[in-house]
Amino acid sequence: FDPNFACEVNQLIMTITLGVIEYSLENPENRKKIIDSLKKYVELEEDNVATDLYYDYDYHFHKTFFDYSNNKLLKDLFKKYNLINEILVKAYHKGAISLKNRKACLEEHERIIKSIEENNIALTLDLIKKHYLRAEKIFRKLIKIN
């Protein structure tokens, strides 16, 4: 896989995720459901951080926002490109570095949940953006190596 393509896919997912967060959280009734879902997936990620199941739970963590957006097109777009992104991540993240990255992602997920609990949407969006930019930074390092 081309690391430049990996960056483009990551940028696309980041962009649609930033938009969908606002849609999904604008309904106050959704907030509690979203938080409960996110916490469930973080716990499952923690329990499976050293296995490939981690990726399934990571997917569902991010998909939660799309599930509550009530926008089928955004859900479909996320499913399609997240699958590509997951393949790229698995291709580039091997061994001990993968475990280190997963643990860092878990910490970021926990901060994202906390910002939602505090109803700080600006911080939530900033944390999501940094979350995806960190992945892009990893891909860009690979471009320099190759």
- Domain count of the chain? 1
pLDDT of residue 126: 97
The CATH number covering residue 109 comes to: 1.20.120.530
Boundaries of domain holding 135? 3-145
Which residue, 99, 124, 96, is CA-closest to 35? 124
- Candidates 124, 96, 89, 90; CA nearest to 110 is 124
| pLDDT tens digits, 57-114 | 999 999 999 999 989 999 999 999 988 877 777 766 666 667 888 899 999 999 999 9
The model's pLDDT over 99-119, given as tens digits with 9 standing for 90+, comes to 888 899 999 999 999 999 999
What are the C-alpha distances in Å from 137 to residues 18, 22, 65, 141?
Answer: 18, 25, 24, 6
